[in-house]
Structure 1
Amino acid sequence: MITESVVHSTITIERTYPAAPERVFAAWADPRQKRRWFAEGEGWSVLQFDLDFREGGRELARFRDDKNGAEIRNDGHYEDIVPGRRIVVAYTMSVGDRRISASLATVELRPQGDGTRLVFTEQGAFFDGADGPRMREQGWRELLGRLADQLQAAR
């Protein structure tokens, strides 16, 4: 039985990358780069990844969990973009036909020495006991780690 409920939470994660803000920004803006660190990964099959990176543009990512076959969908809309400095995206996440969350995510890129201080903030509404703030934070920490690996490989 699913209990109808909403849990609201704000997640903030900070990371420092040894790359200029413009290089980190490009890893979010370029469809090939973002697909590598955001969509591809062991245990997941990418069913669709479309990125129209501009204010008013959309992002759609559909994955299948290779273990249990569940389809997961991220559907985003870019609200604000300041090249090399800020990205704001509103997105929903669904598992199968069930919407599990709606969020507003902000990526801030701040120069720090020769690198970049990234501040990721997600304000989310998590529905009916699915997913949840702890799991979402863990997922974003893993993704931002994959971004670090990609930036390191490109050096």
Structure 2
Amino acid sequence: MTDGPTFTQEYTLVRTYDAPPEMVFASWTTPEHFSRWFGPRALETPVDLITMDVRPGGVWEASIVTPDGTAHPLNGTYREVNVPSRLVLTTGDPNNTEGAVASVVTIDFDAIDEGTRMRFHQAGVNTDEAHAAGAKAGWIEFFERLGEHLKQLQSDTTRTETSSAEHLTGGE
């Protein structure tokens, strides 16, 4: 008997974003934000197909939809939620006995100067090298999209702050 899954493939990706940790963390834990970046660029992750019960033991689900309307559901469980610095979740069930591919994902959000360093670590269960390489390539694309989303959020925030300041000062 073992105390947990045996990881067959692991990798780490580190990205730096010009956004505060709270904003980056929220992009992982709010369906409206998650839908804007999660999944390949050519596909959609509709907000109405995302559920997130962001607490230890809570379940997340999201479906990536192809242009022909086929939904590919993904799900897992939150293991650790430490707003805004750490999120640990599973994809699938790492304790499965059926041999299904699954993983444990750990994301650390570290405040740096005027942004966030995001460290993403994925440890796969029942995962071969080819599957892990494909998953890693997918995450790289997702994180490019996350960066674009965060830039848009920052731009929207700046525009709103400028508009509010102008309103308060009478546009001076």
Give the Cα–Cα distance (whole angstroms) in 2 for the partners of residues 148 and 103 of structure 1: 23
Q: Which residue of 1 aligns with 2:160?
A: none
* Superposition TM-score, scaled by structure 2 size: 0.72
- Note if contact 2:56-2:81 (Cα within 8 Å) is conserved in structure 1: yes
25-34 or 133-142, which moves further after superposition? 25-34
Give the Cα–Cα distance (whole angstroms) in 2 for the partners of residues 119 and 103 of structure 1: 16
Percent identity, aligned pairs only, is 27
Deviation per residue, 1:73-126 (Å, 9 max, x gap): 211100001101000001129xxxxx8511000000111111110000000024
Secondary structure in 2 aligned to 1:145? helix
Give the Cα–Cα distance (whole angstroms) in 1 for the partners of residues 38 and 57 of structure 2: 20
* Superposition TM-score, scaled by structure 1 size: 0.80
RMSD over aligned CA atoms reads 2.8
- Note if contact 1:45-1:66 (Cα within 8 Å) is conserved in structure 2: no
Give the Cα–Cα distance (whole angstroms) in 1 for the partners of residues 78 and 44 of structure 2: 25
Give the Cα–Cα distance (whole angstroms) in 1 for the partners of residues 150 and 100 of structure 2: 31
Structure 2 residues without counterparts, runs of 5 or longer: 1-5, 94-98, 155-172
Q: Which residue of 2 aligns with 1:137?
A: 136
The question of 1:150 aligning with 2:152 is answered no
Change (3 A) 1:44 1:35: closer
Give the Cα–Cα distance (whole angstroms) in 2 for the partners of residues 151 and 15 of structure 1: 12
144-153 or 34-43, which moves further after superposition? 34-43
50-59 or 79-88, which moves further after superposition? 50-59
Structure 1 residues without counterparts, runs of 5 or longer: 1-5, 94-98
Structure number with the higher strand fraction is 1
Q: Which has the higher Rg, Structure 1 or Structure 2? A: 2
- Note if contact 1:126-1:133 (Cα within 8 Å) is conserved in structure 2: no
